[in-house]
Every structure is written in structure tokens, then in C-alpha cells.
Structure 1
Amino acid sequence: MQKKHQCLLLTATLVISACSSNNDSPLKDTSVTKGQANFTKYIALGDSYTAGYSDNALFIKGQEDSFPNILSQQFAAADGGTFAIPLMNDNVGGLLLSGKAIDGPRLFLNNGIPTQVSGLTTTEATNNLTGPFNNFGIPGAKSFHLRAPSYGDITGVLSETANPYFARFASSPTTTVISDAIAGDATFFSVFIGGNDILSYAISGGTGRDQTGNKNYLSYDNNDVTDPGLFADTYSALIEALTTKDAKGVLANIPYVSTLPYFTTVHYNSATLTQALADQLNNGYDPYNQGLQKLAQFGILTTQEAERRTINFTAGNNAIVIEDKHLTDLTQHNLPSYRQATKEDLLVLTSSYFIGTLVNDDPLKVNGLSVPLADKWVLTPEETTLIIHTTDVYNMTINTIAQTKGLALADIKSVMNKLHDEEIIFENIKLTSKYITGGVFSLDGIHLSARGNALISNVFIEAINEKYKSTLKKVDLRKYPVNYTETIH
């Protein structure tokens, strides 16, 4: 099913940026029918998942293995047209802004360890590509960004009012993503957007703000949670624009971040201690524990919270120590907001490289033990509850619009839940959400592997076939790799 793009180098500085993925399509399979859909011109609208971002970067092979490109190949057998992608220049991955690297390079497995590939990307964001294009997946985009004017203005990248990935193929500095997307009068579309409206908050360990009730996105910081009302208004406007000329399409709901390996790989009790070290740490935290008990005796702190905050180590596996802003503020009593983590806390993947390191090479200052982890390293239950609730509200909007507009709905959330809770079996291949070994997620723990993209392509196909009575064929997951090698040809 996979096709390789054959792009010609025209001059030292001019490269054809996208080629048809369907130029070498086989003879038409008469068992495949389009039903009530029209796949003549398909466009994909979304964020990094739609773009094909994988292994912590955007690169050619990842774009070719993106779910929209896979779908376009299946659409080809049902009179689907070409699918143009704003391809990157290489498989190193990443992006330059005036010669300075601002993203990437991609990761690969080096003796079982995720490692950056060698070399520098050759993709320069200031080199604007000429469209038209079919894939409007913009890494980093939130829902409201797709309607934001000047989101493709390269001069606004440093001030974070624009996106370099969109700037490199926007039709003009003042255009919007949705304007460029609908310019070609698509007959079919997919929309998978909204993940970043909550994901950036989660990746930051919940350091952003809940903007519920505030529709002024210009006042948002990058890690804030998008107001559900703003999300609903934006999503509705996007679908109205896409369906103005009766185009049909498929929408995707948003999975819980708690199902992504970025938040489920690092265990809360990952500190292994000797009895001697446990005793040393207990001595260090003894004044803190005694202070909690005194405040509980005076009724300033409940007994339950005092117990929750008490820090105690034993020989063997121990829970790490974290800061928790949701605890009762005791700074006026000279006590910080510390406690040990529990299984309800979600540590971000990058904390695995930080826990156990020393502060200024001081052996008495160990991060996660004698020095509690800062808020940015962990999602507390309160923060996860906010994320899940907000995701549910976003998904209610998506579901309602799909029903109202008569569009297909790909239930990505349920698939991610199943991968997290149990497994999915395909042709004797076991797929789970486990980091590295699960087969679905790439090495950044958030984005999909090629096989993961093939998996959700089949979810899209199921939804399309059910809604529009088409008979598109599913893709064979075995043809898509779990991991890319250091060198991709």
C-alpha cells in the first residue's frame, strides 16, 4: 500500500515539495466503491497527528506514513484524486528558521535507547512552498489557530503569533489555515483537531491556566486549556466552511492524554533505595513531618491531609517526592507543599531523565528524593480530572456537529482507551500503548508510529464505510514499521 514519492531536484535551491501518492495506482478494484462519498479531492485538516509528526519531528517518511496519506491511497481505488503534501526536505527531521534549528531532529532506537539522529535538517521555514496542497496538518496548532489571521506570517514565529510549519506553505502571510484549505473546493475532508488545546497543558505538568469562560485566545499562554465555548465556536465555524459546497467528511474525537505513553511510562514508585539511604532521607524530612503533625493537632490541617503529606522511605521501591500546588498552602507556617507520589499521579516521560540526578553535583540533593520534583514534571489527580472533563466536553461538541451535519465520526478515543486498558490484535500482531514495545506510538511517546497511523486509518475507514455505504478496504498493518532506522532511504 505504501508509495514512495519520486521528487526531482530542479536546481540547487528549488525542490518539488510534494508529489502524488497515487500516480502508480494499480488497476481499479471493482469491489471498492465510494458509496455516497466523493473522494475526488480530499483534504485533511488538523495538527501534528494529521501532519505525520513522529519520533519528535516532522520528516518525509513520517509524512508519507501519515494517516491522511494512507487514507488517500485507499481512496484512490474509489475515484480518489492526488494528495499533495508540503514535504520536508529530508528524513533528519526538524526545522530551521533563518538557519537556526528550532525543532528536531527525529529520534531512532540506538541499542534500545531513543537517540537523536546525526546531522542537521535542511528544511528552512523561510523558504515558502507553492501549493496547492491537500494536507493541512500543522504541528502545534490548536483549534483556534486554524482560523487565526497571520498564523502563517513567518515574521511572527519568534513572537509565537505564527507557526513556522504553516508559514512555509501558507499562500500568503495574512491567510488562515481554513482559508487555504477550502480554496480548492474539496469534495471530502477529515478533521482531527483539538488535542493540543489540552495536550500542551498536560505536557507542561499542568502549569498552564484553565481558561474556561475566556474566549479571548489572544490572552492565552501556550500551556493554557482552551475554553470549551471557544472550542465549540471554532469547531462549528470550521465545519461550516468545509461543508458550504456540500462536501462530505469524517471527524475524529480526541483521546485522553492519560492513555498516551508520555504520561504512563514513568512509575510513581521508581526510586530504589537501600535501608541506609532510606534512613538518611527520613532524617531529612523529619522536621517537615513533625510540623504536619503539630498543625493537625491544632486543627489547622486535617489528619487525612497530614497523613497524605507525610514522607517516609523504606528499603526497596519508593514513591518519589513531588511539589503539589493543590495541597493546603502552609507557607505562613514555614512548611512547603510536598508529598510522595501515588499511582494517581502521572509523571511525564522526560522526568525519567531527571529523577535521581544531582543538584549542582551535590550528593545530598537528589531530584525526586531529597529535592522534590517541581510541578512541571507531574500531573496531579486534580489536573488529570480537569483534562478528562475538558476532553469530554470537546468530544461532545465534535459528536453533536457530526450528527447535525451528517458526517462520519472516527472514534479514536475508544481505540486509545483499549490500547491502554488491554490490547488490540491484528493478524497475530499484539498492539498496546506501551512505550517502545507497544507498536502504536513513536519514540516521543505522544505521536503515532507508522503502524499506529495505519491502525487509526482503519478506524477512519470503518467510520466512512458505515456512514457513506462505501466499501473502502482497510490497510495491512504489517506493511508499516513500528520504528524507523537511523538512515531512511
Structure 2
Amino acid sequence: MKIINIKYIALLVAFIGFTACNDPEDVTLIEEEVVAELPALSSGSADFSNYVAIGASFTAGYTDGALFKAAQENSFPNILSKQFAKVGGGAFTQPLMNDNFGGLAANGARIAEPRLVFGGAGPVPLESLIGPVTVTTDLTANPTGPFNNMGIPGAKSFHLLDLGIPGSGYGDIMGLGVYANPYFIRMASSPSASVLGDVMAQNPSFFTLSEIAGNDVLSYALSGGTGVDQTGNINPATYGINDITDPNVFAQAFNATVTTLTSNGANGVIANIPYITDLPHFTTVPHNPLDPSNPDFGPQIPLLNSIFGALNQIFAQVDPSRIILFSETEASAVVIKDESLADISAIISGGLLSNLPAFEAFIGQFNLPPQAAPGVAGLLGLVYGQARQATEDDLFVLPSSNVIGEVNTDTFAQLSSPPFSLPPALAGQFSVEGITLPLEDKWVLLPSEQLEIKTATDAFNSTIADAATTNGLAFVDFKSILEQASTTGIPTGNYTLTTNLVTGGLVSLDGIHLTARGYAVMANEFMKAIDATYGSNFEESGNFVDAGNYPTNFSPTLQ
């Protein structure tokens, strides 16, 4: 049963026509502008002869929900390496994937999905447009290193030093699914190698260390806060995959990484991380998408309000903020489960049964017999014990757009079976995500969870800034850059890039990672920081890249 469908914002494309001028008198002659000669490019005190990039998915060039060749070729380190080559920079190697489908396999079994593409109204899986594809990049067929681009999608700070589960290497295929990273498995020099060890084996003269703190909070955010804030736990071997890293663990790992990278006299640039909740993965889905004009939802509002009316009498006495009411004239908020609320399941069940004749009459309108009253009261208490309608302070992860308004098949099966044994129509009616079935925590970032992310981010960024100052390294304030993009936008050439999904140009279709154009902007910010610290003149000499020459999306036919 489909109740309502939440769609992405459609991409609007404007076409501008040009009118030719035929009459000489209509033409205004403009004197040729005199362009000042630019100074020659100089590297200053920086030595780019052996540039190595270390980081996570942004460094790798991850975009549109996957890693693939075209995206890697437009990674910000690869863009930088081409500019560095003009002043003595050497070859720059990357662990390229085998195709442009994206995805990853292990012994032929798919473990990562192909990329997303634009489907006309929003992001859709590549295979929904072109049909099934074979993922040709298998982590058992490792490319030959060493690699200058050591961007490892999913890597956290302590992973760089292999401080996770003892005896299980981060690049050891035997640890796949437990601790090892599939992207590092295919590029590690050996199963026992560490990311930082493989970097230092190349004796880099210059490095970038970017966004490495991101995954220390990102997996928690992507999971809707289902992980644990491990602040106070200094043993990363005990962390779950979706946990927030303790700030002291991060500081130890990050400072050790920087100390090691600079131990041979190398210069470099480090970057902080943004508030990831400003990214469109968390800002695109509104808290109030339930439109009364939708023919699948609007006609049901009176019945829904009648059902919730019985609960609202109890909510009004216990906590009025929990009252659930759908408007017949304006968009309504979805119903969520808020785990920070006190569980009043027993109060709901007891309150409904306290006036048994009235409750038996209430369930009678659904053709349920009086003897079903205790079971239904228990069910309503169980489902709505921590329920409320969302507010604008709640954030919804992007995949929730495919869930809201859909029937949860697991709940439907449960309600259709003993001990509930509801009729199929009624079981379906009570299984609609975000309407009669509160959205689970994995779809929502509550304000309390957002605060945990912000607090950790601030702590991580303080460590990063201190490391830059202490070691005399160039510094990129990626946090401020993203704040600008999410508010006024970033002017670049003929474009103003924003964080809007699809239309903004900066962030790719997964709502987290950048487009190729966004990575070009990032490369320019790195060169700006290098100019300021090492006396190079990439900007003054006209050697910033033109972000407008880079794509914002890739065709579904690109293979």
C-alpha cells in the first residue's frame, strides 16, 4: 500500500537565446582591454617533487555515491598534481578503478554499489536507467603501487595508524567485514601494512592531509545517530562502525600522523572538517512533507486525526509536545520515534483501557471485537511510547525520502500475524512510515544527536588548527568554505556554487561528497593556502583552475 511519495526537487534548466545584430550602426565597438602580464609561476619554498595525498573519500575523489575512474581523475589531489607539475612536481599515481560504473567486488561478490545518476527528478541508482551492470573492480586483483593518492574512503583518524582491532590489519582481506577497509585492501603494499606506513615509504616531499576527521563523525550522522558517542572511551578497538571517536583518541592519532609526515622535513597542507549536517544529505528532506493535496494522503486525514485523537488525550496530560495532528490545509510534519523522550508505553496502554467501554467502541469502528482491546492498547503503547511529530530542528537523512509514506513490510507482517492478527487493510494502515508508524531513529538526526556531532567536530577542528600552527603547515578552513556555500554560495567564474542537491553544483548526488567542480574549488583553496604559507604564487600567476571546466554530473552512458 502506497500512501504518499516524496520526490526530490526537479532540476530546472534555462535556455538563453542570442539575437544576432546585422546593422553596422547597432554595433558598439569596444577598445581592446590591455591585460597585464602575469608573473611567472613560483613554488616558493615548497618542494612538490614527490607529492603524496593522504585522507579519506574526498581525497580519493569519491562522488555520486561511488568511486570510479572519471571521479578519481577529477580528485582534488590529481588536479593539484597537474599544477604542481608546472614547478617541479613529479608523477602522480592513483589506484584507479577498472571502469566508470563504480562499485566494488570481493571474489566476484558485490560489496559496494555502482554510482548514482540524475534520473530527471533526482538521484537514482545507475542500474535503474541502464539495467544490470557487472562490477569489474575486484579487491582481490590489486593494482600495483606505490600510490601518490592515498585517499581511503571510510578511513577514520586511528585507521591511518592501524590502531583498531589488534591482530587484524586494515589492509588484510582476512579482516574484511570485521575491521579491514576494502579500498585499502586493494592498494596496501602488504596485508600487514598501515596507511601511514605506505605513505612514508614513498618519502614524500610535500603532502596534503584532508578531511580525515570527517569519518570520525560522518558514519554516526549517516546512521541517523544509531551509533555511540565514545567520548571518554580511549580504546578505539572497542568502537562500533557508526560511533563518534573520542576527541583524545583523535588528537593522539592526528598529531602522530602529522609528526610522522613532517619527520623527514616535508611541507604540507592540512584541512579541517565542516559541520556535516550542513550538507544536503541532511538538509534536503523537509520535516513536513505530508501534503493534504496529495490524493493518497489528504482524504485520510480525518480518519488519522480520529485515531490519534484517543492518544492525544493522554499526550495532553503527560507531554503536550507529543500531540500528533495532521492539517487539512497545510503541509504536516512526519511522525518520528524520539529516543530521547521518556517511554510512556505503559501510560498509554493503561490510559486507553481505563475507559474500557469507550475504547471497545473505538476499536469497533475497525471491525475489531471487544476482546481485542487489551492487545490493541498494548500495541498502541508500544508503537507510540516515544512518538512525536517532527519539528524544523530535526534533520532527515537523504534515503528517508524513499521511505516516508511507504508501508513497512516487516511491520505489516508482524501486525497481520498472532498475537495481533489485524486484518490486512488495517495492518497496512498502521504500517505507513512517518504517518502511522513513527520513523525509526536511523532516519532522523535529533537535536541532541546533532549537538554530539557539533561538539566532536569542534574538538577535532581545534586539534587540526593547533597542529597546523605548531608545525608551520598551510591550513585550509574547509568548515568556513562549506558554511559560505550553504548560505550565500561560492562565486567561481560564471557560477555561484551552493550546497543544494542537484542544482547547487558543489555537492554530488549522494549529498555528501563533492562534484568534480567542487573538487576543483577545493584544489584552488589548497593552492591559496600554499601561497600564503610557502610563498608560491599559484593565484597571482593565474594558475588557479577554472572550476567551470569541470563537470557537475556524469552521464549514465559513461562506462
Query: C-alpha distance in 2, partners of 1:359/1:138?
Result: 35
Aligned to 2:475: 409
- 8 A Cα contact 2:494 2:548, kept in partner: no
Unaligned runs of 5+ in 1: 1-28, 296-305
Counterpart residue number, 2:270: 251
Q: Which moves more between the two structures, 356-365 or 46-55?
A: 356-365
- Whether the aligned pair in 1 keeps the contact of 2:429 and 2:436 (CA below 8 Å) is no
Counterpart Cα distance in 2 of 1:396 and 1:174: 32
TM normalised by structure 1 equals 0.90
2:558 aligns with 488
Query: Could you tell me how far 1:278 is from its partner in structure 2?
Result: 2.0
Equivalent runs, 1:451-470 vs 2, <5 Å: 451-470=517-536
- Are the counterparts in 2 of residues 279 and 314 from structure 1 also a CA contact under 8 Å? no
Q: Given that residues 42 and 134 in structure 1 are in contact (C-alpha distance below 8 angstroms), is that contact kept between their aligned partners in structure 2?
A: yes
Aligned to 2:321: 308
2:137 maps to which of 112, 115, 123: 123
The answer to whether structure 1 residue 196 and structure 2 residue 196 are counterparts is: no
Counterparts of 2:317 and 2:287, CA distance in 1? 28
Question: Is this contact kept in 2: 1:284–1:370, CA < 8 A?
Answer: no
Q: Deviations over 1:328-373 (max 9, x none)?
A: 2323424511111111110000000000112347245321111110
- Rg: which structure is higher? 2
Deviations 1:147-202 (A, max 9, x none): 116100011112x2101110111011011000001111100000111101000000
Conservation of the 8 A alpha-carbon contact between 1:53 and 1:63? yes
Question: What is the number of equivalent residue pairs in this alignment?
Answer: 450
AA partner of residue 146 (structure 1) = L
Distance across 2 between alignment mates of 1:185 and 1:364 = 62
Specify which structure has the higher proportion of strand: 1
- Which of 426, 429, 440 is the aligned partner of 2:492? 426
Please state if 1:239 is matched with 2:258: yes
Secondary structure at the residue paired with 1:350? helix
1:20 matched to which residue of 2? none
Matches of residues 210-221 of structure 1 in structure 2 within 5 Å?
A: 210-221=229-240
TM-score (norm 2): 0.79
1:283 matched to 2:306? The reply is yes
The CA deviation at 1:402 is: 0.3
- Higher relative contact order, structure no. (Cα contacts within 8 Å, ≥ 6 residues apart): 2
Q: RMSD across aligned C-alpha pairs, in angstroms? A: 1.4
Aligned to 1:15: none
SS at match of 2:285: coil
Deviates most, 411-420 or 103-112: 103-112
Q: 1:349 to 1:162 in 2, by over 3 A?
A: same
What is the DSSP-based 3-state SS (H/G/I as helix, E as strand, rest coil) of the residue aligned with 1:357? coil
Confirm or deny that 1:38 pairs with 2:47: yes
Of 71, 85, 89, which aligns to 2:80? Answer: 71
Give the SS at the match of 2:270: strand
Corresponding position of 2:453: 387
Q: Deviations over 1:301-354 (max 9, x none)?
A: xxxxx2221111111300111000111232342451111111111000000000
Distance 2:499 2:288 in 1: 20
Q: CA deviation at 1:418?
A: 0.9
Task: Report which of the two has the higher share of helix.
Answer: 2
- Residue 336 of structure 2 aligns to a residue whose secondary structure is strand
Rounded to whole Å, the distance in 2 between the matches of 1:364 and 1:329 is 20
Partner Cα distance (2:153, 2:250) in 1: 18
Per-residue deviation at 1:456? 1.0
Please point out which of 175, 178, 198 is paired with 2:196.
Answer: 178
Structure 2: where are the runs of 5+ without partners? 1-37, 128-132, 163-167, 349-380, 413-427
Q: Any idea what SS the aligned residue of 1:50 has?
A: helix
Mapped pair 1:164 → 2:173: no
Q: Report the Cα distance in structure 1 between the residues aligned to 2:558 and 2:500, rounded to whole angstroms.
A: 24
Amino acid across the alignment from 1:284 = I
User: Equivalent residue for 2:158?
Assistant: 144
CA deviations 1:125-166 (Å, max 9, x no partner) are 0112221110110011111111116100011112x2101110
SS at match of 1:272: coil
Taking the aligned partners of 1:153 and 1:331, their CA distance within structure 2 comes to: 47
